[in-house]
Amino acid sequence: MTDKRLKDRVALVTGGAQGIGKAIAARFAAEGATVIIADIDEATASATAAEIGAAAALHADVASDASVAALADEVKARFGRCEILVNNAAILDMTGISTMTMAHYRHVLDINQDGAVRMTLAMLPLIKQSGQGRRIVNIASIMGVRGQRDSIPYSAAKGAIVNFTRALAADVGADGITVNALAPGFINTRMALLPDGTGHEHDTDWFKDIYLKYGRILLGHAGTPEDIAGPAFFLCSDDARYVTGQILLVDGGVSATF
């Protein structure tokens, strides 16, 4: 049972069909928000919407100007407002400099970095004219604030999201809109599956040795999508009305051992 603290607010979550996006959408719906799931995977988005009681599942390719513009038009036509935008849609990529091409680099950034900018540009006019509690939350990553081998496109994009968040907060603060980012650590989602399909990275010997045996994750385990949904709800609640331009690392304490 919740207090329905997001009642009377419309929330749009990109990449909301599964993983972290789904957990955030479910928490917002439980808190009384009218939730719109925007995802490139329409079938999974529709199933998720039915499961969590979301108001709508809409197609969105965040790498496409036309798709994002069409989404913004549909949200305005159907709901008339949008108080909360969560820029979550992204792809995981583990590519190092020795194998990376510029075409590949641009592809990853077009989704993981430009996607959030593109969506914000399209939705901001509607957010500005909407009701109370106007919030933008970007999903970054601890890989956006530290270095890791074989992660150049992903880390570069998430690092850009970190400073996009700060700069956007400065631009829209006078409009009463807060902008913050969450930087998840190791979270048990489909993105954590090994490329060969043998399991999650959290089950590997190297992960257990580095992050668990030697205490790099202070809480001793990987997180869950719901561990990100709680902080996302906080940032969109009235309790966070004076919080903006911040990057909250939700990583079980990994960043304390950097």
pTM for the complete prediction?
Answer: 0.93
The pLDDT value recorded for residue 209 is: 53
Give residue-wise pLDDT tens across range 37-91.
999 999 999 999 999 999 999 999 999 999 999 999 999 999 999 999 999 999 9
Q: Which residues contact 73 (CB under 8 A, 6 or more apart)?
A: none
Q: Residue 249 domain-assigned?
A: yes
Q: Does 176 reside within a domain?
A: yes
pLDDT by 10s per residue, the chain, length 258: 568 999 999 999 999 999 999 999 999 999 999 999 999 999 999 999 999 999 999 999 999 999 999 999 999 999 999 999 999 999 989 899 999 999 999 999 999 999 999 999 999 999 999 999 999 999 999 999 988 888 899 999 999 999 999 999 999 999 999 999 999 998 987 655 455 556 556 666 556 656 665 568 888 888 999 999 999 999 999 999 999 999 999 999 999 987
Report if residue 170 sits inside a domain. yes
Kindly state whether residue 203 falls inside one of the protein's structural domains: no
Say what angle helices 225-236 and 19-30 make with each other, to 10 degrees: 50
**Which domain does 152 fall in, by range?**
10-190+224-253
Residue 214 counted as domain residue: no
**Domain tally, the chain:** 1
The residues annotated as belonging to the active site are 154
Classify residue 204: in a domain, yes or no. Answer: no
What is the domain-level CATH number for residue 69? 3.40.50.720
Evaluate whether residue 177 is within a structural domain. Answer: yes
Buried b (16+ CB within 10 A) or exposed e, 24-50: bbbbbbbbebbbbbbbbeeebbbebbe
Q: Decide: residue 220, CB within 10 A, 0-12 exposed, 13-18 middle, 19+ buried.
A: exposed
